[in-house]
Amino acid sequence: TNPPVITLDGPGGAGKGTISTLLAEELGWQFLDSGALYRLTALAAMNHGVELSQESAVAVIAEHLDVRFEKSEQGTRVILENDNVTEAIREERVGRNASVVAAHNRVRDALLKRQRAFATLPGLIADGRDMGTVVFPEAPLKIFLTASAEERARRRVSQLSEGGFDADYDQVFADIVERDERDRNRATAPLKPADDAIELDTTELSIPAVVEYILALASERG
């Protein structure tokens, strides 16, 4: 039997990460942060001096990604080739480069199996851009989270400053808009809701309210 999967897709800053983490804790399910895999691919390519526009070279990096996710008291630690990159992968330039490598078909293919392997019992919360459309098209519950670009930029700035990073609102806003454009307009697995996804605009909603709502949907469908 297939483990149950709840997919959460949407643009950056819509609250997917926080909401997915809370859902996974609440349900005791696995959590897939698929964006981290694209960020890791970008970071590994940067570390190895691979040109991000070279699709086949970046695909080789993605296929051989040597990564571990270690659960600890302070959350999940991300280890790339024995380096702790938990903070490094959150940098804006890594996010920007992630969306460049994510536009390559062969990179997406290379990461597909790795993502599907996260679906184990008792269930999976999958966070990304194409979880409902490409990676887990059979998922019984698909959520598409949005929020205005201004609100997403505000959230990103406070997240970055909480993490101790300098963040300039105008710069973050410009990055968000540019990244959205690239994610929505790429040929392969563009950012868009699955036909059977439930769309939720979180601009004016609190995180606990969104979590409650999704849990209610999950138990209805469980």
Residue nearest to ligand C5P (CB): 35
Q: Is 17 annotated as a binding residue?
A: yes
**Smallest gap from residue 215 Cβ to ligand C5P (A):** 22
Question: Which of these segments, 80-88, 94-102, 138-146, 155-163, binds ligand C5P (CB under 6 A)?
Answer: 94-102
Interaction between residue 102 and ligand C5P (CB under 6 A) = yes
CA-wise closest residue to 176 among 198, 139, 147: 147
Question: Which of these segments, 47-55, 80-88, 97-105, 214-222, binds ligand C5P (CB under 6 A)?
Answer: 97-105
Residues 2-41 that bind ligand C5P (CB under 6 A): 12, 34-35, 38-39
Give the total residue count for the chain.
Answer: 222
Strands (E), 29-168: 30-33, 67-72, 75-80, 83-84, 124-128, 141-146
Interaction between residue 133 and ligand C5P (CB under 6 A) = no
Interaction between residue 130 and ligand C5P (CB under 6 A) = yes
Count of positions on this chain that bind ligand C5P (CB under 6 A): 14
**Smallest gap from residue 219 Cβ to ligand C5P (A):** 26
CA-wise closest residue to 100 among 3, 200, 178: 178
Residue the block writes with tokens 């990055």: 175
Report the b/e string of 3-38 with b at 16+ CB within 10 A: ebbbbbbbbbbbbbbebbbbbbeebebbbbbbbbbb
Whole-number Å distance between alpha carbons of 165 and 64: 30
Pairing outcome for strands 141-146 and 5-9: parallel
Cβ-based nearer residue to ligand C5P, 13 or 123: 13
Question: Which of these segments, 22-30, 55-63, 96-104, 211-219, binds ligand C5P (CB under 6 A)?
Answer: 96-104
What phi and psi, each to the nearest 5 degrees, are found at residue 76? -90, 130
Question: Which of these segments, 51-59, 74-82, 124-132, 203-211, binds ligand C5P (CB under 6 A)?
Answer: 124-132
| Contact of 20 with 157, CB cutoff 8 Å | no
Q: Is 103 annotated as a binding residue?
A: no
Binding site for ligand C5P (CB under 6 A): 12, 34-35, 38-39, 95, 98-99, 102, 128-130, 179, 183
